[in-house]
């Protein structure tokens, strides 16, 4: 599309009305589906500045790719890349139907790329444009085990030996709506083995992954408590957030949720309930840097900690660190190095300087370069770009019915 050509439409209904002379414009974009399951956006301006974003829903990359193209073609090409808030409002409020994982993930990746451009334009890290640093480094945690957790004690000990001070594991494999005492005992035993392997000075987050029903969540929350989990993540599906107050009555363990919540309006309910201790918005799903920065501020007002969700690639992690840097209530940051999903490629492979994500004593330093603070290896991205079409497995119970993954 030639962004300098007018289409002859009436400016009163044109979603991109003329605003006078624009010194720099968004002129081009490319999307790359790369292994293991990521979608990268390359946004270019008229002066040659390039910004990168990571707009993806794991398992729905092609759908989000189409949504990104629609937003860019409809609203952003030819526009001033520095008017980020206005672009965000236009992409969100310019559509009668709003929210949800696909639209908000598309907006998120575009927003990340715009902030990357803006930081490079001002020769500053994004966090400096958001108010400056509230910390010098960010604590991170490391995944152990897989979707059906096994061998977690050995893996946990290895990661602690590497310097991590916080871990996360899945609580269970698939569960029936009301499962056996043995299923509860198995979950307790796995966590007990990890606790014994790493000792009391290491935090262990336990992820229910939304695969646990309300009655089982109550039983597991109580049974796991003696091993003092760091938090219980997504104890029920977000569709059942109304059950969180009841579940909270069965444990003193902090409750975390939010990876499948996509805007500040989705988080209103859990803030008002007063039972969630940690929120986990995803910078590639919840509207990007612009929106998660606002969600973090809302959380601070309710004395709720922030631990952004990020089982994704290097661009998403870099975006997370920009918000982490400026948010006083940040607890810890997820990162996906060596996670069980990354069998074909891993986070550092797409960077020309992987040292930007060096972990030391369980922390990562804030990026200091302009924009998102990373240098994407564009040559490698182009080499790896392919018709990647990852989908999560569909699990089934013994009777053939679909189980939550």
What are the catalytic residues? 209, 309
d(CA 238, CA 260): 7
Q: CB within 8 A of 325, min separation 6: which ones?
A: 125, 127, 130, 133, 134, 135, 138, 366
Closest CA to 258 of 287, 229, 301: 287
Distances (CA, A) of 37 to 40, 42, 59, 146: 10, 17, 7, 16
Cβ(367)–Cβ(133) below 8 Å: no
d(CA 208, CA 217): 8
> How would you class 125 by CB atoms within 10 Å of its CB: exposed for 0-12, middle for 13-18, buried for 19 or more?
buried
d(CA 360, CA 366): 12
| Torsion angles phi and psi, residue 16, rounded to 5 | -125, 70
| Torsion angles phi and psi, residue 206, rounded to 5 | -120, 120
d(CA 374, CA 357): 9
Distances (CA, A) of 321 to 47, 148, 161, 288, 342: 27, 29, 24, 12, 21
């Amino acid at each position: 599309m030639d962004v300098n050509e007018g289409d002859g439409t009436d400016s009163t209904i044109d979603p991109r009305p003329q605003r006078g002379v624009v010194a720099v414009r968004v002129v081009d974009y490319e999307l790359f589906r790369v292994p293991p399951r990521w979608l990268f956006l390359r946004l270019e301006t008229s002066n040659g500045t390039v910004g990168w974003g990571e707009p993806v829903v794991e398992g729905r990359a092609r759908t989000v790719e189409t949504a990104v193209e629609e937003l860019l073609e409809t609203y952003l090409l030819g526009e001033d890349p520095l008017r980020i808030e206005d672009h965000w409002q236009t992409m969100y409020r310019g559509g009668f139907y709003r929210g949800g994982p696909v639209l908000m993930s598309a907006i998120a990746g575009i927003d990340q790329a715009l902030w990357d451009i803006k930081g490079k334009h001002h020769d500053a890290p994004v966090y400096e444009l958001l108010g400056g640093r509230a910390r010098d480094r960010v604590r991170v945690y490391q995944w152990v085990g897989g979707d059906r957790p096994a061998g977690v004690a050995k893996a946990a000990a290895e990661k602690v030996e590497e310097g991590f001070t916080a871990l996360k594991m899945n609580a269970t494999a698939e569960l029936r709506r009301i499962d056996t005492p043995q299923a509860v005992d198995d979950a307790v035993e796995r966590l007990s083995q990890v606790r014994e392997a790493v000792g009391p000075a290491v935090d262990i987050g336990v992820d229910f992954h939304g695969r646990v029903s309300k009655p089982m969540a109550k039983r597991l929350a109580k049974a796991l408590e003696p091993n003092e989990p760091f938090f219980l993540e997504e104890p029920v599906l977000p569709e059942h957030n109304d059950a969180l107050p009841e579940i909270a009555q069965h444990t003193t363990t902090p409750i975390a949720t939010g990876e499948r919540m996509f805007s500040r309006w989705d988080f209103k309910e859990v803030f008002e309930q007063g039972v969630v201790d940690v929120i986990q918005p995803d910078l590639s799903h919840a509207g990007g840097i612009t929106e998660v920065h606002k969600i973090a501020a809302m959380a601070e007002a309710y004395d709720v900690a922030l631990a952004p969700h990020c089982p994704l690639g290097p661009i998403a992690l870099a975006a997370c660190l920009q918000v982490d840097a400026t948010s006083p209530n940040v607890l810890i940051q997820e990162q996906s190095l060596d996670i069980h999903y990354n069998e074909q490629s891993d986070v550092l492979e797409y960077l020309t300087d992987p040292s930007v994500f060096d972990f030391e004593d369980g922390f990562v330093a804030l990026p200091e370069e302009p924009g998102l603070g990373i240098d994407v290896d564009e040559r490698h991205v182009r080499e790896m770009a392919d018709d990647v079409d990852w989908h999560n497995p569909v699990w089934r119970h013994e009777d053939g019915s679909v189980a939550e993954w």
